[in-house]
Chains A and B, each alone.
Chain A
Amino acid sequence: MNDTMTRESITAAATLRDNAGVAEALGRSYAAGFVTEIEMTGLPPGLDEETVRQISAIKQEPAWMTEWRLEAYRHWLTMPKPDWAKLKIDPIDYQAISYYAAPKAGPKSLAEVDPTLLETYEKLGIPLHERAALAGVAVDAVFDSVSVGTTFRKQLAEAGVLFCSMSEAIREYPELVQKYLGSVVPTGDNFFAALNSAVFSDGSFVFIPKGVRCPMELSTYFRINAQNTGQFERTLIVAEEGAHVSYLEGCTAPKRDENQLHAAVVELVALEKAQIKYSTVQNWYPGDENGVGGIYNFVTKRGDCRGDDSKISWTQVETGSAITWKYPSVLLRGDRSVGEFYSVALTHHYQQADTGTKMIHLGKHTKSKIVAKGISAGRSSNSYRGLVKMEKGAEGARNYTQCDSLLIGKKCGAHTFPYMEVKNPTAIVEHEATTSKISDDQMFYCRSRGIGEEDAVSMIVDGFCKQVFRELPMEFAVEAKKLLEVSLEGAVG
């Protein structure tokens, strides 16, 4: 299946490359505003304790969950808005946001979907049967994916993997949710995590029981069945002793969404010898080329290597959103546990990103590796901010960090702010960073071999990001490469 997808993607892209007209039409313009009929049944804008209670009631949650949300809300009220990031953020009116909207009715068939959006899918090489689901066409209209989805569900159930929406999990598996929810990112962890805890609408719950290796990349399943989970998403993944899982969030396709503020929380728990691989491809609406509009993506993501010999790996490709502000982190609690962070963050036009990771080493002989690649174009600002902390007990712990920035154009900024705090004399921390532009020599070399300017740039950028793309599930690696090409259109010349 992977093979087919890749081949399809490559052929699609190859056809498109020749079609200059289509490419031009696509530009960097983002398809939105194609929703025709909107039926809204939701809560009016505004936030108070009553709103929190109502959300909980709509979701038919048990009393402990309502209380949990209320506690988070009360804490949120006491918290100051954080302002330390290298970001310019217009003030957010939290009372102007509607905290619960019923799922909106999308277009009824692909024929109703904005053609430019379809062209972007085409360009990214997204398989035909997935396009409808991505475009928000009601799932029951997509025959293929339903059957595919059902097969997957059966396979997962046989393996004993629990994979469902968070609301379902709260109803069906309350003891598991109660045990793990908020245990990695406490309700009062930070301003946006507290807000999320109070009002989260839905999200995903994954539980891999002891010794189980999840039979498929959850990405594949997830992409087809992705529901509109709203702006306050909550994800919890628990891998018991010796369990393995790979999960992919988001997709390369531009996402249909009108919400401005996204404050999601993702919690990962890895028990002894468990491994979790979490990949993100984020391509939300970045605003137009003048910096008007776009999504604020303020996300708290944290993994907890609770057991010895566990491993958590974050991979992210961030190209969308007007502002990206997140630091997927790993708490290396178990001895010999491993944390990894691979990131490509691309900003163009007026986009801003302040992203990176935190590796907190507590256990003995823990290891972490950070590879961050930032690409800035247009008038954007792209910062890497990362913390590596070796606590007193981190005997023999090891960290290696590499972050490289690539500048395309004269008006953008690329910044690196690594923090290293070491309290154990046997720990070793290494950090390296470079900033450069695509050199004239590289360009000349490519051009002299008949490669066009844009293609040359995307080739060089692809090489620059290779280390990270290698970590992505295969079909997404192919798409991610194309995504960077699409995102960088108009950056050169």
Chain B
Amino acid sequence: MSQAAPLPLVASLLDMPLPASGIAWLDAARQENREAFAAGGLPDTRVEAWKYTALRALGKRSFARGDAAATSRAVAASTFALPGVDGPRLVFVNGVFRADLSALDALPEGLTLQPLSQALHGDAEPLRFVLSRHYREVDDAFVSINAASAVDGVVLRVAAGVKVIAPVQLVFVGAATHVELAWHLRNVIELGEGAELGLIEQHVSDAEPTQLATVVSDIELREGAQLHHTVLQNVAVIASLIRRSSVRLHAHAQAMLHVLELGGALVRHDLRAELVGDGARFDTRGVFMPHGRQHIDTQLAIRHQALSTTSTSTWRGVANDRARGVFRGAIVVEPGADGSDASLGNKNLLLSPSAEIDTKPELEIYADEVKAAHGATVGQLDERSLFYLRSRGIPLAEARALLTAAFCRAVLDDLPNEVLREHLSALLTAHLPA
């Protein structure tokens, strides 16, 4: 994969001193990951995981690191305010922690919420396991450069048995700068035994930043922990965002994710779940709605590794204009994961003759006491439903809008926070073509 001359993107991301933490194992891991990125470069479309997402155009661009003004940039609270959400909050602007915008007072007992930079100043040892990982796979390029370069991020812990119901809000803001900026954030989230957490993760922009951001999150759910996680990605359509979220679920842990992918120029989200404990359950509901020239790629991979684990996934895609939506939903049932029950559905709508949807549901099954099914469709609105509405006097355009909105909103049906659900639903509708 190594090129004769590194691509401008690779060169620019490498063209900066490694952050020095003063922690030997962390510095060593950063060095290692940096070398892996330098050696591997960017994956091309011959790499299966990047088949439908070409990095050629992005690879030709250079990005600067470090926004010196990030600590003082004015960012309006309206950028990230959400109705029905008024809990603890951690805000980053261009990859830098902003105490002034965060809400960390009066954290409920048993909840640890702090920026990674602070956590490393204290006892870094609990973070060692996650942060000393090496990423060398061919499709890990952005994760390895993130692991080498990220100096901040979220550290969130919920102690065993503690229930944090008012959702914790994590906000990642990209703000416009006079240079094209790259920034990286690394999040570590852990729920202790029987803990419960409501979590909202927001990716937003202030003005129109032409930047590249990488966000890598490791989420661990101990025995019986429960996570309700809502992700709202609504960055400006000129910003590129590449994320990897890895969720590990121990016995009887449960995670429910709602994901809205609305903004961004080139957006890629690798969402990986490992069900390592018996009886664990992982549910995802997601929608991606690229329009204009957006490219939104979601790579969902769920590994059932223990007995009687369950996963359900419902994903919707709507592509308009010249946009491209990419979805891969892979379910792996490993040997011995008997009693696993996995289902995945991905339905897509193509609204324009120049848009494209590429979808790839996969099943890899190595156990026989298993129920696994997936389905995927790409098409247009059901003619009969349209006819039904029109026969009741609803004009065609309105009927289309109604059905498309209903198609997308299906993924929000089981979102418990009603006020938030209405808000997100309105956001989806606003994203639909008039």
> What residues of chain A have their CB less than 8 Å away from a CB belonging to chain B?
84, 390, 392, 405, 407-437
Contact = CB atoms under 8 A, between A and B. Distances in A.
Given A426-B380, A428-B377, A421 B365 contact: no
A212 B124 CA distance: 80
B377 A431 contact: yes
Nearest to A413: B366
- Chain B interface size, as a band, is 20 to 34
Interface of B: 48, 52, 335, 348, 350-353, 355-380
A417 B360 contact: yes
Contact of A433 (B348, B368, B373): B373
Contacts of B355: 423, 425
Given A410-B367, A411-B335, A428-B380, 4 more contacts: A407-B367, A409-B368, A420-B376, A431-B374
What is the predominant secondary structure among interface residues of chain A facing chain B? strand
Contacts of A412: 366, 368
Contact of A415 (B335, B362, B367, B368): B362
A407 to B, nearest CB: 4
B378 A420 contact: yes
Which 8 A-B residue pairings sit nearest by Cβ, starting from the closest? A428-B379, A425-B350, A407-B368, A437-B368, A422-B378, A416-B363, A435-B372, A429-B378
A229 to B, nearest CB: 34
B374 A416 contact: yes
Nearest to B369: A437
Given A413-B364, A437-B370, A418 B356 contact: no
20 contacts: A392-B353, A409-B368, A411-B335, A413-B364, A415-B364, A415-B365, A418-B360, A418-B362, A418-B376, A420-B357, A422-B378, A424-B350, A425-B380, A430-B376, A430-B377, A435-B371, A435-B373, A436-B370, A436-B371, A437-B369
B261 to A, nearest CB: 18
A196 to B, nearest CB: 23
B67 to A, nearest CB: 39
A43 to B, nearest CB: 35
A87 to B, nearest CB: 14
B363 A415 contact: yes
B138 to A, nearest CB: 13
B368 A413 contact: no
B230 to A, nearest CB: 28
Contacts of B380: 425-426, 428
Contacts of B360: 417-420
Nearest to A403: B363
Contact of B362 (A416, A427, A437): A416
B375 A405 contact: no
A434 B373 contact: yes
A425 B377 contact: no
Contacts of A430: 375-377, 379
A413 B366 CA distance: 4
Nearest to B357: A422
Most chain B CB within a 10 A radius of its CB, from A407, A419, A426, A435: A435
A415 to B, nearest CB: 5
Contacts of B350: 422, 424-425, 427
Contacts of A436: 370-372
A429 B362 contact: no
Contacts of A420: 357-360, 376, 378
B376 A405 contact: no
A405 B368 contact: no
A366 to B, nearest CB: 15
A421 B45 CA distance: 15
A410 B333 CA distance: 12
A203 B361 CA distance: 38
B361 A418 contact: yes
Contacts of B361: 416, 418, 431, 433
B364 A427 contact: no
B353 A432 contact: no
B295 to A, nearest CB: 14
